[in-house]
Each structure stands twice: as C-alpha cells, then as structure tokens.
Structure 1
C-alpha cells in the first residue's frame, strides 16, 4: 500500500514539474491586423507590453510573435492608426481591427522659422516624439523612426557598426546628385559625411539624447533652407533641462548578433577523400596537407554590443540643465568591425 502511495506522490511531483516547465516556456501568438474596411494593414508594430520583444505585420497584415510566458498584453501601433493594447491571456490567436487616428491640431511642431501649431501650418510636416520612438536595441538615431513616418524610407546600408542607413523622403529626386535629406540638429545643419566615409552624419549622436524628430517634406515647409532642402529636411531636437529637483537616470543594454547562415563547405578530410577517389587527379591528394581550417569561423564571431547611458536633469535656481554621458561599444559579426561612441 505504501508503495502505491509513494508512486502516486512521485507521479504528482513529475506532473507538477512538467506543468511548471511548460509554463516557463515562451508562447507563440499569431493573428491578423485589419483596418476599418477589413483589409490587412502592413508594417504594424506588434510588441509584448513591458518588453522589447516585437515584430511587424506582413503585406497581408498577418503576424507571428514568440512572447515570454509572463506577457499579458500585445501593443499594436502604426502611423495613422490608434494604438491598441490587447490581452493575450489564454489566447494563441489575436486578430485586431485598428481605428484611424485623429491628429491633434494643437500640437506644436518645429519648422525652419521656429515653432508653430500644426493647425496653422500648410506644409507637409510629420512629428515623432520620444514616446513614439521604436523600442529595443537602438545604436543610431535614424533607427528610432524606422517605419514610423509615412513617405519616409529608411534602409540599412549594411551590418557593419556605424554603417548607418539610407534615408529617402518621398523617394529620390535626382539621378546623379545626392538624394539625402538635410539634417538639422538644434538649428545647426549637419554635413552628410559620417564615420569611415559612411553617409551617416548621425552615427556619433547618442539616440538617448534626442527628444523629437520633425520631418519637413515639401517646399513650403523647408523653404528657409534653400536648395539644400530639395530632398526634405529632418530636424532633430535634443533633450533639455527641466525645472525641479535633480533627477538621475541610468540605463544599460546588452545585445548579441550572430551570422544567420554560413556557406556549407567540405571539411579538409572530405576534400581529400574526394580528390583521392577522383579518377582524374588522385595524385594531387598528398599535396593538400593535413590542415583543417574553417575560414568562416576565423572571420565571423558572435558580436556583443553594450550601451550605457547616464543623465542628470534639473535646474539651478532659474537655469535648467541636463548633463548626459553615454558609452556604446558595438562589435560587428566580422572580427574587424567595431564602433565605439562616447
């Protein structure tokens, strides 16, 4: 009788362990995002609330996302639509219909002449504030607004650290001349020449110091900048000091990147066997030697990136201040690639 009780207790313990183990695993949520007409919406940002896990919907509006078991809500956001937070408790399929957002006409935007209310503007101006920035591991400022502004295309130039991105506002305008927009940081135009010759003037700017982006798309909005603004203007406003007691903020992020696919090649032994068994040139097999070097492992490695940021914000009497210090150390998947920013 005691053996049966012991067996039952052991079985119950195993079942409890398995249930806890399965509970700790990630779960996969899939579904489709549509608009008011029922058509699929592409490029919608889908993230697990409270984490950096996310994805975007495909061209037909469908998505598939692996989220932590502790996640309880998904956040759906896209330009021109109202952000929605949907509970995923006990669900594996979540379909969402997004409502069209109504823009705030009282919003203050930055233009070349100063600031103005959106309702008073006739030009095409888009504003992306810090609350709307892309979340996750961000190393260059343009990544903050990728997929956030209609008519603005941001394409990565490559996987090398500091390579930056190609930015196009309403497409290219010239076959021979530059199609890069003018970038203005706190009223100062920036030359379009980046690190190591890359066309990325933003690579040495800390994304954590940016408050908002104002994108001027047409001639009336960017006329003050003249011909330099023929491809549009991106105005970057950095964070400023605020009145009140000193406030300290520190954040750190660590990420890793690995090559997705490697070329499947023969090992040294397999190559020697191939040559030995060949009817044409078996005499060359002894010339191959005994080395077995994987040259892909010699040039590729797991790239680690660390990003640390400290800021102090406050006011001394009537003078607000903000002091910030950041350090980025980003390795590339090529062993020779590295970007350090202080």
Structure 2
C-alpha cells in the first residue's frame, strides 16, 4: 500500500457544536463529593489520539478490473477502528504504515481486527494490485489523531480533575464520537474570531502548539465534554480565580447570568447572558438550559456563541451552574447549556449534599 495514497496526515478540524450519543457515565458510587470548584473560561488546545487508526474514507485502486476498493467491498465502514494487522497491535499511524508496507508486494490476504461501536471482530481483505504504481493496496484513507480548540469549564484542586467543552468531540469526517487512546490539553491564545451569522456558525481561531508542555491528560470523551486530570494548574493560578459553589439544576433560575470566556489572546472575561429557560432533570441531559448572549461587547466581537466557546462556564448568583454547549444555527446569539451536575459526574465528582456531610463527619 502506497504511503501517499493512505492520506497519512493529521486532520485538524474538530466539530465542537454538534450533539451526539452518550458514550458512558461514571458509576454513582465512585463519585467524590465537592462543594465548590474553580471556574474556567480559558481557551485550550485539544489533541486526541484514537485507539488504533480510524477509517475516514475509501481510495479507489486502479486494477485490471477497474476502479476498486478492497476494503469497502469486503465490508469495512467509515468510522471503523483498526486495532490489529495480522495480529500485530496498531497504536498509531506510524505503526500502521510500518506494518502495512510489509504486505504491499503481493495479494496475500490481510486480517484486520476491527472495532465498530461496541463490537470487535476480524475481517480478512485481499489487496488489489494498483497497475499505475505496481503495489498492492487496500484502498482506504485512515488517520490516528485530531486536534482543535475549546474552553475549560472547571477544575477541582483537591482531586486535580477538570472538565471542558461541554459536549463530545466527534471526527470531522465520520461524524462519530472519537474513541480515544490518549490525549492532552495545552494553553492556547485566541488570534481572531469569525463572527457567527444566521445559518453560519462562527468560530474562534487560536494559536497553540502540541509540542508545548501539556496542562493535563484527557481520559474521557463523552456527551458532556472531555475530562481528565491537570498536571499543570498555572492557567488558574495566573488568573487568581477563587473557587465558586456548584449549583443543583433546580437552583438555576430564568434571568440574568454571566459566562466566562476568551475573545482575545488568553484573557478570560465575564460577559452578560440571559437564562431563557432551565429544565431540571433526574437523568443526565445535555440541553438543560436555553441561553441568550446579551452582552454588547461579546455580540460585537463574536456575533454570539461560536465554535471554540463550548465549555464556557455559566455563573448565576455567585454559583457555577453549567456550561455553554451548542449554538442555534438560525440564531447565533442563542444556544444550549448543560447543567454543571452532569459535567461533574463525568469527571468523577458530585455536588455535596447533607448526607455527604454527615458521612464525612
């Protein structure tokens, strides 16, 4: 299989505004009670490595039988994750390329171990000869990593756990949640904002380097954001932000509130919003609030909610109540928010109640 035809390149664009199915939750009995956390608002660079390599498309092979894609014809689907080649584990693109080059000289069948959603199974593919390049190919495009930007939501200095983004990171091409192998977050600086308009969501544009020392690891990618532990908390210490109490969903009221986010460089600022509606739920809910940006400064800078703003913490009456998650396509000034309870749960935390205090005493 030819190196160039595999499209071995990092895909940098990640969707931060689309809802997808929940991947999993932390069991309730494992949750650590907290009364307060440090609110975020900082812009962060995000890099995820997937388990194995992900199939993101198919590449026709010019064979004697015409244009064919052995992978597609055998049953490989876009979004499939290749975990092994002939029982050799694949951890990244480099490992895949090194192994596959051993098999491009003939049409010997190749066995792939495929992960598709919750199912793992073997699939045997017979490569096709590319008459133009005189090598045998499987006929597919793959990648192993993706990167983008988002906003930090909260940090618990006791457990070192953080939450960010407010919703799942999906693959730009397959539109499926990324099954992560590992990942990290780094500081980023906003360089400009493409303002949102009706029918065309805007986006923050940022500068960051994945070669920089990471702020922390990414351990989970769920419907409620990304979660892990911070190894470096300087972005919080530098801003001298005090912890805030966390609110139960039923405490959230319609009316005035604020969000913390960055519109220029790395400076976190507070902007006014309106809680249009809030619907408490006994079960996890990604769209528990409808919010509207009312701050003239933010509207002038961004037009409303834009990509990269997801995860911006929402504050009301001195409490952290949730995070920005989605923008309305026909009205960028408005969108959805998630109650902070569900993000805390995904991070392995829960809002401390009276019975937790009694147990602690």
> Is TM (by shorter chain) over 0.5?
no
Q: TM-score, normalised by structure 1?
A: 0.22
Point out the structure with the larger helix share: 1
Q: RCO higher in 1 or 2 (8 Å CA, sep ≥ 6)?
A: 2
Q: Select the structure of larger CA radius of gyration.
A: 1
